[in-house]
């Protein structure tokens, strides 16, 4: 090869190497300029059974005996506490609404499910099945604890699309320490305190997951039967406080079971890997209000669980964890049980939720100015508490209750949050008349 050819050859090699380097640099720059894709979060929904605001938290104006809840207090401090979360007055209709995103009059679940009462139609699509249909099986799903929407078929939860179920199917257990677990279509006796057992099951399940997971953890605490938890789950300070504050052994047991649940939720969180914790969103809520036997001021026994008054349908909702930038926020926005479906769907990356009755609250997790609900709705029908059957609606300032007996109530809930003055007992002013018409029209349009 003569010198001229050598020079040409070297120039060609230099040009090729330069082009290759430029190409690699361009690709690297393109990768760097692309926004990092946020990983799909793990989602844990935790449900307390029969726990209203009167026994928990810092709801303004409620100064009753509060359970000691450092874990839940921490979730509240690192996230958002919704003070206007509405559920239904009894557990089955609340759970059905959360799972389907639909009002009870659409699903037929208006009271406690089972026995002679309607149960959820197997054709209904619950959130676990929905997100995996939309996301091609991206999520591992589990329901652990109380089910209580579809009777006693041993594989009922799995039939709705839940991949793993361990818990009980009915409304309660006969004894927190001696009960029967259903899982995989089989039943076995359990002698571990239910709250502890459910956390054991949840921790074991989470440890073996290799993809994003959605855990539905439904405690039976603090529901009846009222029993003292294991001593190691209740602090000496807490027990002493409950005993000094109330002469009722039932109240002491009720508050102690809430503290025990809180401690076990803390153990659940501690059992997670750092990576899991950093990529998990927690939603904690009550399924209905406090039972009449342990309801506290400002609620009466007639305005507690199984009623459409605030003590029956306004429960705690805490949201904390990954992808939530608002911290230590008390959020008064109106939200309701059907919104859980839409919210979980959005968190799981479903961009179109095709929902009828739910509105995702996820935008509020990072933006205080996000679009908010104009109203919330609750209902009770087919209940053994027949005198309480009916519906309730509220907008930001007014609440209307219509009972099947024909009795009606209207409250200026914005300034009368504990329903002391029924405005329908005297002539309404123009503002009251307008809001009553608005709320009745909303009901007609549902």
Range of the domain at 416: 395-445
Phi, psi of 225 (to 5 degrees): -75, 135
Q: Is residue 213 part of a domain?
A: yes
> How many beta carbons lie within 10 A of that of residue 129, not counting itself?
17
Based on the fold, state whether residues 357 and 427 are members of the same structural domain. Answer: no
* End position of a domain, from candidates 347, 367, 387: 367
Q: Is residue 31 part of a domain?
A: no
Q: Is residue 12 part of a domain?
A: no
Based on the fold, state whether residues 185 and 265 are members of the same structural domain. Answer: yes
Based on the fold, state whether residues 357 and 401 are members of the same structural domain. Answer: no
Based on the fold, state whether residues 280 and 357 are members of the same structural domain. Answer: yes
Q: Is residue 238 part of a domain?
A: yes
Based on the fold, state whether residues 331 and 434 are members of the same structural domain. Answer: no
Are 232 and 264 within 8 A, CB to CB? no
Based on the fold, state whether residues 182 and 129 are members of the same structural domain. Answer: yes
Which pTM does this prediction carry? Answer: 0.91
Based on the fold, state whether residues 353 and 402 are members of the same structural domain. Answer: no
Based on the fold, state whether residues 294 and 426 are members of the same structural domain. Answer: no
Based on the fold, state whether residues 158 and 236 are members of the same structural domain. Answer: yes
Are 119 and 95 within 8 A, CB to CB? no
> How many beta carbons lie within 10 A of that of residue 121, not counting itself?
13
Distances from the Cα of 334 to the Cαs of 87, 118, 218, 324, in angstroms?
Answer: 11, 29, 23, 19
Are 193 and 142 within 8 A, CB to CB? no
Based on the fold, state whether residues 346 and 273 are members of the same structural domain. Answer: yes
**CA angle, 419 then 424 then 380, to 5°:** 60
Number of Cα atoms under 13 Å in the Cβ half of residue 413: 23
Q: Is residue 121 part of a domain?
A: yes
Q: How many residues does the chain have?
A: 446
Q: Is residue 190 part of a domain?
A: yes
Dist CA 163 CA 135 (whole Å): 15
Based on the fold, state whether residues 268 and 405 are members of the same structural domain. Answer: no
Alpha helices in 246-354 (DSSP H): 249-271, 274-278, 310-313, 339-347
Kindly give the parts of the chain with pLDDT less than 70.
Answer: 1-36, 353-354, 385-386
* End position of a domain, from candidates 318, 352, 367: 367
Among 327, 323, 295, CA closest to 309: 295
Q: What CATH number corresponds to the domain at position 58?
A: 3.40.720.10
How many domains does the chain divide into?
Answer: 2
Distances from the Cα of 127 to the Cαs of 132, 134, 220, 343, in angstroms?
Answer: 9, 10, 21, 10
Based on the fold, state whether residues 334 and 420 are members of the same structural domain. Answer: no
Q: Is residue 383 part of a domain?
A: no
- Give 3-state DSSP helix, strand, coil % of the chain, rounded to 5: 40, 20, 45
Q: Is residue 135 part of a domain?
A: yes
């Amino acid at each position: 090869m003569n010198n001229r050819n050598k020079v040409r050859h070297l120039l060609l090699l230099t040009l090729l190497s330069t082009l290759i380097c430029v190409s690699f640099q361009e690709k690297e720059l393109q990768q760097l300029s692309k926004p990092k894709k946020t990983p799909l979060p793990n989602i844990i929904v935790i449900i307390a059974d029969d726990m209203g605001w009167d026994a928990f938290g810092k709801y303004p104006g409620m100064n009753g005996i509060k359970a000691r809840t450092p874990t839940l207090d921490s979730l509240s401090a690192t996230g958002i506490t919704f003070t206007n979360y509405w559920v239904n007055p009894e557990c089955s209709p609340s759970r059905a609404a959360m799972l389907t995103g639909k009002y009870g009059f659409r699903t037929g679940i208006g009271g406690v499910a089972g026995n002679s009462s309607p149960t959820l139609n197997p054709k209904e699509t619950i959130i676990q099945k929905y997100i995996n249909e939309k996301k091609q099986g991206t999520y591992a799903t589990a329901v652990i604890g109380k089910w209580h929407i579809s009777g006693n078929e041993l594989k009922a939860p799995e039939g709705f699309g839940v991949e793993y179920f361990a818990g009980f199917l009915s409304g309660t257990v006969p004894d927190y320490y001696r009960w029967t677990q259903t899982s995989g279509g089989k039943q076995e006796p359990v002698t571990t305190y239910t709250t502890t057992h459910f956390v054991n099951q949840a921790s074991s399940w989470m440890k073996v997951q290799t993809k994003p997971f959605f855990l539905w953890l439904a405690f039976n605490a603090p529901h009846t039967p009222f029993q003292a938890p294991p001593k190691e789950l209740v602090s000496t300070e807490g027990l002493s406080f409950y005993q000094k504050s109330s002469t009722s052994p039932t109240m002491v047991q009720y508050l102690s079971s809430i503290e025990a649940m809180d401690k076990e939720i803390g153990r659940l969180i501690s059992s997670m890997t750092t990576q899991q914790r950093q990529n998990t969103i927690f939603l904690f809520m009550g399924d209905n209000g406090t039972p009449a036997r342990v309801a506290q001021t400002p609620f009466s026994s007639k305005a507690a669980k199984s009623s459409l008054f605030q003590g029956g349908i306004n429960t705690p909702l805490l949201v904390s964890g990954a992808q939530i930038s608002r911290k230590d926020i008390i959020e008064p926005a109106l939200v309701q049980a059907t919104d859980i479906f839409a919210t979980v769907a959005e968190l799981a990356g479903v961009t179109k939720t095709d929902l009828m009755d739910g509105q995702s609250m996820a935008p509020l997790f990072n933006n205080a100015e996000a679009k908010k609900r104009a109203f919330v709705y609750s209902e009770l029908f087919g209940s053994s508490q027949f005198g309480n059957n009916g519906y309730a609606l509220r907008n930001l300032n007014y609440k209307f209750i219509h009972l099947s007996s024909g009795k009606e109530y209207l409250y200026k809930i914005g300034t009368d949050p504990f329903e002391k003055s029924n405005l329908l007992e005297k002539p309404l002013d123009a503002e009251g008349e307008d809001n009553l018409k608005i709320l009745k029209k909303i009901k007609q349009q549902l």
